[in-house]
Structure 1
Amino acid sequence: MNDNKKSFFMGVIFGMVVLFVINSFITNANLLYKRFILREMTTNQKISQIQDIVDTYYVNEYDKELMEETMYKGMIASLKDPYSYYMSEEELNLFLQDTEGNYVGIGIMVNLTEDEKILINKVFEGSPAQEIGLKVGDKIIKVKDKEVNLENYQSLVSDIKGEEGSKVKLTISREKENKTFDVDVTRRSLDVPTVEYKILEDNIGYISISQFDRVTYDQFKIAFDDLKNSNGLIIDLRNNPGGLLTTVNKITDMLVPEGTITYIEDKYGNRDYHKSDANAYNKPLTILVNKDSASASEVLSGAVKDFGVGKLVGETTYGKGVVQNMYTLPDNSGVKITMAKYYTPSGVCIQGTGIEPDYKVTNPLDNSRDLQLEKAIEVIKNWK
């Protein structure tokens, strides 16, 4: 290599070293400026400093693990999405048990009300809740003396479950009787029957689905097969808060012809289509819905309505057109987060609007008659 080439390469190397030094200086100067002039801090620096202040000055004992758990819950709660939340390892285990169709609890189904309370929309036969006198329509306003709100709703629902034989204190508001009272309910191991069925007048089949768990499809199939010789079918989804998308898709596939049951779309525009085969129910079909029919219930209702294979009777549904996924963290805690919107076969996202029934019917407040069921029977009888 001649001297000119050697000088050239040495110059390039020297220039790169100088550039690296300058960049490092600028970067460090920028960090120092932000840290000491603007007083900016990284998230970890701020958490560490707050922890130091608590450890150094806080006068009482405190639960450090609870502090950390609360911080994680707060991160997701800041989204102000009632369907997204952080779960500790214990809460995650209880949640997974619940979707399996068996759990330790008091035997109720609930949802969040507009005034941020826990509404009881079903009390299971023979459950501790029924034995102690809890009723559909009761609102749980406190769990273990903690007031219910949007941020703690999911954690308090988890707190209602627990160890078999243990008790949980609930504060109940029974608005129809204008009274508030406390109850202590003993938790028990429960197998949740998510499907009930029977034959009504004029040989009309009736199937009630309380939620869509892993066990629900098998339970529904038994009911569906037993009622195959009926003159028509009523599927009752009133007060059904939803459940597993995989389960409701399999049930809907039994009812509608070939096509799209639903599709979900994520924040990047990616779509996942859920299809049905050509087999379909070919007798009169009505679906009972109300304002607490949500999520997976609306998938089934929307598909039946869009395919035109049945009629919806009752009230406008809840309007939950979003899908959540569970992400388990390495320490076995988890985050359930809204990750997509779902659409009916006609391409409508019902988030916040719900699905309008073909026949709007409201039951009396005293539940003296089930006008919605009566209308569903009438529709089946007069089917054309």
Structure 2
Amino acid sequence: MEKKEFWKGFGSALALVVVVALVWRTSLIQQWIPWQYLPFDMEMSKAAKTNLIEDFLDRYYVDEYDGDMVKESIYGGMVAGVGDRYTYYMTADNLEQYLQNNNGHFQGIGVKVYQTEDGEVTVYSLMDGYPAQRSGILEGDIIKGVDGVDVSSFALNEVAEKMRGPIGTSVEVKVFRPSDGKTHTFQIKREDVVMKSVNSKMLDDEKGYIQITGFKENTYDQFMEALKDLQSHGMKGLVVDLRNNPGGLVRAVYRIGDELLPEGLMVYTEDKEGKREELVCDDKYLDIPMVVLVNENSASASEIFAGAAKDTGAATLVGAKTFGKGLVQRLFTLPDGSGLNITIQKYFTPKGTSIHGTGITPDIVVELPKEYVVGDEVPVADDTQLNEGIRILNEKI
């Protein structure tokens, strides 16, 4: 009798648990899959799936969100899916900045900024002769406001974009200056700012030095101006410094290479179909002893020049192994102003070497002193790589 009562009670309890579980499960399913009773096409189009996801977000996401940003992220994620860091999608704003950077000029105040780990957008350099420098802004100033808007929580690119604008318009920039503990406000009129990618000087009576920091639309003109100036001072040997040069436009490096490298193949590329294109230098070039300085941050177009200089014997490479980017990208613009930067070719040095992922090992490997890291500005006296280049030129002049 007791056993019968036990099983009777157990059965009732079990039934209750099952009922509760069913109710809970039904509630859970209805909470998470509200579309379960609607017709659902398992072969739905990408557009339909995107719209469905958007409907879910609109209906259930707990906070407000930027719908346009979500859509832009879809495009970016789609392109990122190919797994190539150099193939990417750009919004219309990103594309505009990209084009300005490649053109070598922009409309703004001529200030270079970076963002610290705690989010402070800080001035690290002022472009010589431009509005920011003339206004009284100093290196180390922390940007706090732009046109009355607190930018303390803004991303670096957002702050930079707010300081840019049409030539002749003014922008109010508020900074905190750690050196005096005070806040300063400046009214600055925007100008067309030309980015300098070439620096040059005579190292002594015979040796010239040209530093190229990037290959932009205006780099060749700046290079030729520097080259002619050095020649007018009696240059007999040249150091070309490509350290920390991330690359840039292939046509820019080709035009410079055509001035410095001997007649023949400079570089060739191959696309996915194996189609080959060649860039060839003519027989008119500066035939003097040359050293090319490279390091871990010399990439892409810099490596095109360095690889050709090494393979043709036109120069001695000195420094550290280069970055190793042997890919060529092409920019495609879309009707809405956005763009795609797509890797379309691989490039090879004159001897047929692909440097992608491996880099170029200099003829003479020289490390900087341990107290300096890659990217630092190194005084000439401590610059072991430059001094090795000077030693080589002394032997050849």
State the TM-score bracket (shorter-chain normalisation): 0.7 to 0.9
Q: Does 1:287 align with 2:292?
A: yes
Name structure 1 gaps, 5 residues minimum: 1-35, 111-119, 135-142, 148-155, 170-184
Match of 1:377 in 2: 390
Match of 1:131 in 2: 138
One-letter code aligned to 1:318: F
Q: Deviations over 1:167-219 (max 9, x none)?
A: 799xxxxxxxxxxxxxxx99975321111111112420111111111111011
Match of 2:357 in 1: 352
| Native 8 Å contact 1:167 1:187 kept in 2 | no
Match of 1:54 in 2: 57
One-letter code aligned to 1:246: R
Which stretch has the larger CA shift, 295-304 or 57-66? 57-66
Match of 1:201 in 2: 204
CA distance in 2, matches of 1:124, 1:311: 34
Match of 1:242 in 2: 247
**Alignment partner of 1:84 out of 76, 83, 87:** 87
Match of 1:266 in 2: 271
**Alignment partner of 2:330 out of 319, 325, 331:** 325
Match of 1:94 in 2: 97
Match of 2:312 in 1: 307
Q: CA deviation at 1:79?
A: 2.8
List structure 1 segments (4+ residues) > 6 angstroms apart after TM superposition: 127-130, 166-169, 185-188
Q: CA deviation at 1:287?
A: 0.5
Classify 1:226/1:84 alpha carbon distance in 2 versus 1 (closer, same or farther; 3 Å).
same
Q: Describe the SS at the equivalent of 1:286.
A: strand
Aligned-residue sequence identity (percent) comes to 40
**Alignment partner of 1:362 out of 358, 361, 367:** 367
CA distance in 2, matches of 1:335, 1:50: 24
**Alignment partner of 1:192 out of 172, 190, 195:** 195
Match of 1:211 in 2: 214
CA distance in 2, matches of 1:168, 1:73: 34
Q: Describe the SS at the equivalent of 1:382.
A: helix
One-letter code aligned to 1:279: K
| Native 8 Å contact 1:325 1:336 kept in 2 | yes
Q: Deviations over 1:211-230 (max 9, x none)?
A: 11111101111111222331
Classify 1:220/1:95 alpha carbon distance in 2 versus 1 (closer, same or farther; 3 Å).
same
Q: Does 1:227 align with 2:230?
A: yes
Question: Could you tell me the TM-score, scaled by structure 1's length?
Answer: 0.72
Q: CA deviation at 1:63?
A: 2.0
Q: CA deviation at 1:61?
A: 3.0
Classify 1:351/1:107 alpha carbon distance in 2 versus 1 (closer, same or farther; 3 Å).
farther
Q: Describe the SS at the equivalent of 1:132.
A: coil
Q: Deviations over 1:268-299 (max 9, x none)?
A: 11111111101122111000111101111111
CA distance in 2, matches of 1:300, 1:355: 11
Q: CA deviation at 1:341?
A: 0.8
Q: CA deviation at 1:78?
A: 2.5
CA distance in 2, matches of 1:345, 1:187: 48
CA distance in 1, matches of 2:45, 2:343: 27
Question: Could you tell me the TM-score, scaled by structure 2's length?
Answer: 0.70
Q: Does 1:70 align with 2:56?
A: no
| Native 8 Å contact 1:104 1:187 kept in 2 | no
CA distance in 2, matches of 1:53, 1:210: 48
Classify 1:108/1:296 alpha carbon distance in 2 versus 1 (closer, same or farther; 3 Å).
farther
Classify 1:102/1:270 alpha carbon distance in 2 versus 1 (closer, same or farther; 3 Å).
same
| Native 8 Å contact 2:331 2:340 kept in 1 | yes
CA distance in 1, matches of 2:385, 2:338: 42
Match of 2:303 in 1: 298
Specify the structure having the higher radius of gyration (Cα): 2
| Native 8 Å contact 2:125 2:139 kept in 1 | no
CA distance in 1, matches of 2:60, 2:40: 27
CA distance in 1, matches of 2:113, 2:363: 27
Q: CA deviation at 1:84?
A: 1.9
| Native 8 Å contact 2:126 2:138 kept in 1 | no
Q: Describe the SS at the equivalent of 2:44.
A: coil
| Native 8 Å contact 1:305 1:311 kept in 2 | yes
**Alignment partner of 1:340 out of 345, 359, 366:** 345
Q: Does 1:45 align with 2:21?
A: no
CA distance in 2, matches of 1:201, 1:94: 39
Q: Describe the SS at the equivalent of 2:260.
A: coil
Match of 1:256 in 2: 261
Which stretch has the larger CA shift, 45-54 or 56-65? 56-65
| Native 8 Å contact 1:160 1:168 kept in 2 | no
Q: CA deviation at 1:160?
A: 4.2
